[in-house]
Every structure is written in C-alpha cells, then in structure tokens.
Amino acid sequence: MRCQSLRLIQIRSFQDKTIEPAEDLTLITGPNGSGKTNLMEALSYGSTGKSFRTGSDGEMIRLGEDEGTILLTYTVHRVNQEIKIRLSRESGKKIFLNETPIRRKELVGLFRTVLFTPDELQLIKGSPQNRRRFLDMEISQVSPRYYEEILRYTRAVQQRNAELKNAQISGKKPDLDLWDMQIASGACYIVRKRLETISKMNETVPAMESILTENREKLEIRYLQQGSGEPRFDMEWYLEQLSSRREEDARFCHTSIGPHRDDCLFLMNGLDISAYGSQGQQRTAILSMKLSEMEFIRKETGEYPVLLLDDIGSELDESRKKALFSFLMKNKVQTIVTGTEILSDGGKVIDLGNNE
Ligand SMILES: Nc1ncnc2c1ncn2[C@@H]1O[C@H](COP(=O)(O)OP(=O)(O)O)[C@@H](O)[C@H]1O
Ligand SMILES: [Mg+2]
C-alpha cells in the first residue's frame, strides 16, 4: 500500500494543500497549530470514512466554507486508485472511488492504514468501546464481510431492543425469536474472528515489543467474553444465553449478552496493564499493539498498510526511534510521521512552516 498524494481543499486549516509522501519515510514538521494533525486526520479519514478527532464531519470543513474535499491517490498491489471524499454542510458526505460513488462500508479496507496518536492511551484507559472499535476496524480493513456482519449484528441488537421497548409500552409479550437467531448467528461469526485475530496478534507482539524496549515485558491481549470464562462461539450457547436473559433484558430494554458487550484486556506479565503499567509502559505497549496490527494486515493482505504516527517525538527516546525507523525502512513500510523537530533518520521532510 502506497499513498501517492493527498490533497485537501477547504479542509481544516487548509485552503488547497497537496502533499506527496515518500515511498518510505516522510516527516511532516512545523510548529504547533500548523496543521500536522489535520493532514493525518485526512489520511485516516480516507481509510475509515471517519475522523479520529471528531464525530462531526462539519468540523473538518474549513471555517467560512460550505464544502471541503479530500483527494487521495494511492496504489494497492501496484494498481493506482483514487478516493475522493466531498464533505458538505448541507448534503453531508459523498465518497467516490475512481469517480464512482461508493458507500462508507465499501470504503473501509480500500486504503489501509494503522494510526498511532497521543490519544491512543484511550485504548487502555478508555471504555471497552474503544477496544472493540480497535479490533473491529482492524479486522474490517482485511475483511469486508466482517464489517458487513458488524453492521447487520448492530441492527439486529437495535431491533431486539426496540421490540422489548414496544412490548413494555403495549404490555404484550415481546416477539424475540427472530432477533435472537440473527444475534446468535452474527455473534458466533464476530467472536470467532476476534479470537482468531487476537491469537495472530499475540504471536507477533513480542517481536514488535522488542524493537521498542529493552526490558521486555510479556505483552498479551486477552478476549473477555460476557457470560463465559472460556470463549464460546456456537449458536447453541448464544441462543441459550439470550433466552435465559429475556426477563432481565425486558426490564431494561437492552441485550445483555453478545460481542457488543465484550471487551479485551491488555496484559503485561499477566497483569492488567491499565492498573499496573506505568504511563511509559502503556504507551510502548500500545505502539507494540499497533505494529502488530500492521503485521496482521500484511499477513492477511500481502501488503503492509500505511503507518501514520502523529506526534511520536515524545513517545520514544532517540535510540528506540532509530531502531523503530530502521525496522520500518527495512520492511519498506510507508511511514508518515509528524513532529515539531526533524528526525535524524533521513526521509522526506515536509515543512508546514507558519504560513498555512
Ligand atoms: N474547520 C477548520 N477551519 C479552519 N481552521 C481549522 C479548522 N479546524 C482546525 N483548524 C485549525 O487548525 C489548526 C490545528 O491544526 P493541527 O493539525 O491540530 O496542528 P498541529 O500541527 O499542532 O498538529 C488550528 O490552528 C485550528 O485553528
Ligand atoms: Mg498535532
């Protein structure tokens, strides 16, 4: 995967700005507020159809403008592609692949990226939703079917909850059989894929961690399934769980079992890193996870994704940064980094200066 160019027209602080990242390492530099993260946000948006900074697309349109455009050209397995995203205050967003309109769910998985930002600590410190989204987006980037299943599953849960609500209002018995079937079948697929992915990541995490730190901890991801000690992903178990929880679920109008309630834990030497790890260890752990996500994507698709590292300067000391970049260069991972200082490792420098 290679990003050839990124053009922002009336997006964030940019009127019209094009960057052409190098094949290997690119450093985007400039003082605070010069738009470095804005560029990373746009690259990541081209990958996921969503901003990592805001839930409102309107915020990304340049102040005073009604429309903004992100234009991304890239190659996947040596084939040139172009993604265009038009954001409009009035008519929302429109996505095009090579000038053909596509939906957001068709965008996910086209331009594959792995993103690391200082906010990533949320992965450890934040709510389970952050961790589920991390896993779901990782798998969706390599499996369009997975993304479809997540959407379908989420709808089924919403419909089951709506049926519970209606029944509560009307005083009738809720009719849940159809939704329980759909939820159970989606849950089996989703949980199986998540477990497979975690087990593949656990194989590469130690190697990634050893690039980043000398005092090697034993890092591991563990899936936490609601309602079960041992992971279960068969229809029978889910149907049984859903059925035995009907009374409670009816009271709260929710669905208390399923992958939308699961979580995962990051363990360091067997202990929950959110409780026992220092801030520095947590950051290194997350970066190791991200690198292992990158390896996972390469194994599944045959190509490395583009690695986006926002503000990595403060995360690692000089020698670790060197080790990381030499690993990335050796493996020809296209890496785009932002920072206020120039890295000593070469690569192309894009200086945003003060004038953007
Ligand atoms: N919608 C917008 N329209 C115009 N300017 C914006 C918009 N959103 C953010 N900005 C500006 O972008 C700048 C922040 O850019 P950012 O990429 O976060 O900087 P940094 O280089 O520190 O990462 C701020 O000056 C902010 O005012
Ligand atoms: Mg920034």
Q: What integer is the mean pLDDT of 2-19? A: 98
More confident: 211 or 7: 7
Q: Do 281 and 318 belong together in one domain?
A: no
pLDDT digits (tens, 9 = 90+) for 280-322: 888 889 999 999 999 999 999 999 999 999 988 766 778 888 8
Q: Do 106 and 15 belong together in one domain?
A: yes
Judged on CB neighbours under 10 Å (0-12, 13-18, 19+), 322 is: middle
Which strands make up the sheet holding 25-29, listed edge to edge?
Answer: 113-116, 306-309, 335-339, 25-29, 348-351
- Mutate which of 13, 338, 351 to test ligand 1's pocket (most atoms within 8 Å of Cβ)? 13
Q: How far apart are CA 39 and CA 56, in angstroms?
A: 17
Q: Do 168 and 292 belong together in one domain?
A: yes
User: Phi, psi at residue 51, to the nearest 5°?
Assistant: -85, 145
Q: Given this model, what pLDDT does residue 61 score?
A: 98
Closest-CA residue, ligand 1 atom 25, reads 33
Find out whether 283 and 315 touch, Cβ atoms under 8 Å: yes
How far from 78 is each of 3, 4, 110, 334, CA to CA, in Å?
11, 11, 13, 14
Q: What integer is the mean pLDDT of 58-79? A: 97
Q: How far apart are CA 83 and CA 107, in angstroms?
A: 9
DSSP code at position 269:
T
Q: Do 249 and 353 belong together in one domain?
A: no
Ranges of H-type helices in the chain: 36-48, 104-107, 122-125, 128-142, 144-170, 177-212, 235-244, 246-252, 273-276, 279-301, 318-330
Of 278, 302, 326, the residue that ends a domain is: 302
Closest-CA residue, ligand 1 atom 19, reads 33
Is it the case that residue 356 has pLDDT exceeding 90?
A: no
Q: What integer is the mean pLDDT of 90-112? A: 96
Is it the case that residue 29 has pLDDT exceeding 90?
A: yes
Closest-CA residue, ligand 1 atom 15, reads 35
More confident: 97 or 228: 97
Give the residue numbers spanning the domain of 34. 1-112+304-356
Q: Measure CA 138 to chain center.
A: 6
Q: Given this model, what pLDDT does residue 276 score?
A: 86
Q: How far apart are CA 207 and CA 21, in angstroms?
A: 27
280: β partners: none
Angle at 43 between CA 151 and CA 32, to 5 degrees: 125
Give yes or no for residue 64 CB within 6 A of ligand 1.
Answer: no
Q: Do 108 and 126 belong together in one domain?
A: no
* CA of 32, closest atom in ligand 1: 22
pLDDT digits (tens, 9 = 90+) for 122-143: 999 999 999 999 999 999 999 9
Q: Do 134 and 253 belong together in one domain?
A: yes
**What is the 54 CA–ligand 2 centroid distance (Å)?**
14
Is it the case that residue 23 has pLDDT exceeding 50?
A: yes
Reference 110, options 137, 139, 81; nearest CA is 81
Looking up residue 283, the CATH number of its domain turns out to be 1.20.1050.90
User: Phi, psi at residue 242, to the nearest 5°?
Assistant: -65, -40
**What is the 239 CA–ligand 2 centroid distance (Å)?**
47
The identity of residue 355, as a single letter, is: N
Q: Do 333 and 265 belong together in one domain?
A: no
Is it the case that residue 72 has pLDDT exceeding 50?
A: yes
Give yes or no for residue 32 CB within 6 A of ligand 1.
Answer: yes
Of 272, 302, 332, the residue that ends a domain is: 302
Judged on CB neighbours under 10 Å (0-12, 13-18, 19+), 354 is: exposed
**What is the 32 CA–ligand 1 centroid distance (Å)?**
9
Give yes or no for residue 160 CB within 6 A of ligand 1.
Answer: no
- List CB contacts of 165: < 8 A, sequence separation 6 or more: 253
Looking at every residue in the chain, the average pLDDT score rounds to 93
Ligand nearest to the CA of 31: 1
296 three-class SS: helix
**What is the 71 CA–ligand 1 centroid distance (Å)?**
18
* CA of 64, closest atom in ligand 1: 3
HEC assignment per residue over 76-116: ECCEEEEEEEEEECCCEEEEEECCEEECHHHHCCCCCEEEE
Give yes or no for residue 13 CB within 6 A of ligand 1.
Answer: yes
Q: Do 274 and 341 belong together in one domain?
A: no
DSSP code at position 261:
G
pTM listed for this prediction: 0.93
Reference 333, options 8, 97, 21; nearest CA is 21
Computed over its alpha carbons, how large is the radius of gyration of the chain?
22
Ligand nearest to the CA of 28: 1
Q: Do 298 and 308 belong together in one domain?
A: no
Closest-CA residue, ligand 1 atom 16, reads 35
Q: How many domains does the chain have?
A: 2
Q: Do 246 and 264 belong together in one domain?
A: yes
Phi-psi region of 91 (alpha: psi -120 to 50; beta: other; left: phi over 0): alpha
**What is the 48 CA–ligand 1 centroid distance (Å)?**
20
Q: Do 251 and 337 belong together in one domain?
A: no
276 three-class SS: helix
Q: Given this model, what pLDDT does residue 58 score?
A: 96
Ligand nearest to the CA of 15: 1
Reference 328, options 217, 211, 225, 173; nearest CA is 211
- List CB contacts of 292: < 8 A, sequence separation 6 or more: 201, 204, 205, 208
Q: Given this model, what pLDDT does residue 53 score?
A: 93
* CA of 31, closest atom in ligand 1: 21
pLDDT digits (tens, 9 = 90+) for 170-215: 999 999 999 999 999 999 999 999 999 999 999 999 899 988 888 7
Burial per residue of 99-115, b for 16 or more beta-carbon CB atoms within 10 angstroms, e otherwise? eeeeeeeebbbbbbbbb
Q: Do 88 and 153 belong together in one domain?
A: no
Looking up residue 108, the CATH number of its domain turns out to be 3.40.50.300
Give yes or no for residue 33 CB within 6 A of ligand 1.
Answer: yes
**What is the 92 CA–ligand 1 centroid distance (Å)?**
21
pLDDT digits (tens, 9 = 90+) for 235-286: 999 999 999 999 999 999 999 999 999 999 999 989 999 988 888 888 889 9
